[in-house]
């Protein structure tokens, strides 16, 4: 059987990204595509990392040729892993998909059974990818805030990169948990969107993006950051005594030009968030929390759906910071 995928190849300096029709046996024979479960993918997503890979903007891909797509949701077609059987609905994020292992911007994928999470019944595959890697990472960040003991009445929570994938879902989760959320964004024209998701207040991200003093006026009980660089440094410098800052992203930059002052003088705790190699137990509890503890009706406002052929233009757009919320890819919508 044949299927269509977003196929990235590189020979010397010659990079190409295009839709390609592949045969099933290539899923078996390619060393970057091993696994005991074949999944018919319904939906994937465009994450920042997909943008980097598809636009060849940073060394995300480490095995060539590569099928792009760091996440996907679909139905098991066949499995030699006893945990899974044909017909099971599954979701997958990370584990090197689209980097070292053929990913899910594809109508089919061969995956390791131990990587798969059973899709909670309440979600369609489209909703699962509306959450996707970004929303899953947002949930890991929000759970860290809650598990570190920050209570809903403890003060304002800052979410940076708020109109992006991680930021939008973090605003929605935290506000539905009763926290007072301040959304920092460069897209002030998206203030209504962010308020609809639950933000109590909007902050111009320019107030956080330049170098600042090591200790600033204490404001935030906690911070969910996906931006890094000076934004993360300023967020730490403005966090109240004993507060929590989670760091998962680098939309402004990978640097962290900080002082230790917030950590040693205010006991601020910086918590790193990684979704890619996150252990299965934490994955399952984050997906369960998304199913039970989050108002999925908010996903409609967050989501734009595109077809498989639209991913190339969307990759450029996400790198330019021009995407609002999450972009879901219907992999069966072909040009």
By C-beta, is 107 or 163 nearer to ligand NDP? 163
Residue closer to ligand NDP, measured from CB, 209 or 238: 209
From 267, 275, 305, select the one nearest 91 (Cα to Cα): 275
Q: Please report the sign of the dihedral spanned by the C-alpha atoms of residue 207, residue 212, residue 214, residue 217.
A: negative
Q: Is 49 in the site for ligand NDP (CB under 6 A)?
A: yes
Contact residue for ligand NDP among 5, 117, 128, 273 (CB under 6 A): 273
- Residue 103 binding ligand NDP, by CB under 6 A: no
Stretch that binds ligand NDP, among 3-11, 60-68, 77-85, 243-251 (CB under 6 A): 243-251
Residue 184 CB neighbour total at 10 angstroms: 28
Four-CA torsion 10, 13, 16, 20, nearest 10 degrees: -30
C-beta neighbour count of 118 within 10 angstroms: 13
Using H for helix, E for strand and C for coil, what is the string for 320-333? CCCCCCEEEEECCC
Q: Does 60 bind ligand NDP (CB under 6 A)?
A: no
DSSP state of 40: E
> In angstroms, what is the minimal distance from the CB of 190 to ligand NDP?
7
Give me the half-sphere count of Cα atoms (radius 13 Å) on the Cβ side of residue 19.
17
**Backbone φ, ψ for residue 314 (5° rounding):** -70, -30
Task: Give the Cα separation of 280 and 53 in Å (integer).
Answer: 25
Nearest to 230 by CA among 255, 200, 202, 265: 255
Cβ at position 173, least distance to ligand NDP in Å: 13
Q: Determine, following the binding rule CB under 6 A, whether residue 47 of this chain makes contact with ligand NDP.
A: yes
The site string for ligand NDP over 144-183 (x = CB under 6 A, - otherwise) reads -----------------xxxxxxx----------------
Contact present, 133 and 142 (Cβ < 8 Å): no
Using CB under 6 A, pick the residue from 43, 205, 240, 283 that binds ligand NDP.
205
**Rule CB under 6 A: is residue 192 a binding residue for ligand NDP?**
no
Q: Among 318, 328, 329, 331, which residue sits at the site for ligand NDP (rule: CB under 6 A)? A: 318
Size of the site for ligand NDP (CB under 6 A): 33
Minimum distance from CB of 59 to ligand NDP (Å)?
A: 14
Using the contact rule CB under 6 A, the part of the chain among 43-51, 55-63, 82-90, 238-246 near ligand NDP is 43-51
In the complex, what is the shortest distance from the CB of residue 232 to ligand NDP, in angstroms, rounded to a whole number? Answer: 10
Closest Cα to residue 174, out of 293, 285, 327?
293
Residue with Cβ nearer ligand NDP (38 or 198): 198
Alpha-carbon gap, residue 79 to 314, rounded angstroms: 33
Q: How far is the CB of 293 from ligand NDP (least distance, A)?
A: 20
* Contacts to ligand NDP by CB under 6 A: 47-49, 133-134, 137, 161-167, 185-187, 205, 209, 226-227, 231, 248-252, 273-276, 318, 321, 323
């Amino acid at each position: 059987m044949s299927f269509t995928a977003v196929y990235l190849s590189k020979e010397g300096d010659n990079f190409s990204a295009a839709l390609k029709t592949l045969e099933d046996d290539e899923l078996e024979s390619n060393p970057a595509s091993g696994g005991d479960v074949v999944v018919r993918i319904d939906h994937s997503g465009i994450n920042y990392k997909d943008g980097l890979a598809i636009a060849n903007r940073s060394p995300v891909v480490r095995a060539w040729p590569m099928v792009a797509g760091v996440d996907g949701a679909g139905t098991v077609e066949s499995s030699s892993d006893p945990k899974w059987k044909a017909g099971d609905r599954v979701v997958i994020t990370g584990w090197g998909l689209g980097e070292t292992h053929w990913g899910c911007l594809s109508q089919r994928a061969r995956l390791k059974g131990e990587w798969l999470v059973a899709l909670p019944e309440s979600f369609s595959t489209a909703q699962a990818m509306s959450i996707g890697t970004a929303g899953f990472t947002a949930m890991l960040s929000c759970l860290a805030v809650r598990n570190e003991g920050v209570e809903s009445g403890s003060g304002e929570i800052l979410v940076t990169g708020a109109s992006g994938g991680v930021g939008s879902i973090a605003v929605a989760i935290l506000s539905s948990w009763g926290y007072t959320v301040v959304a920092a964004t460069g897209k002030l024209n998206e203030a209504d969107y962010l308020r609809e998701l639950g933000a109590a207040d909007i902050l111009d991200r320019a107030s956080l993006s330049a170098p600042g003093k090591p200790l600033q006026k204490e404001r935030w009980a906690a911070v969910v950051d996906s931006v890094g660089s000076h934004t993360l440094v300023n967020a730490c410098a403005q966090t109240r005594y004993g507060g929590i800052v989670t760091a998962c992203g680098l939309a402004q930059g990978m640097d962290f030009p900080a002082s230790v002052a917030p950590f040693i003088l205010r006991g601020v705790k910086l918590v790193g968030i990684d979704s890619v190699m996150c252990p299965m137990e934490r994955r399952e509890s984050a997906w369960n929390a998304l199913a039970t503890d989050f108002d999925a009706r908010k996903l409609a406002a967050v989501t734009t759906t595109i077809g498989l052929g639209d991913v190339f233009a969307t990759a450029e757009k996400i790198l330019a910071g021009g995407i609002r919320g999450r972009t879901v890819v219907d992999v069966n919508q072909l040009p």
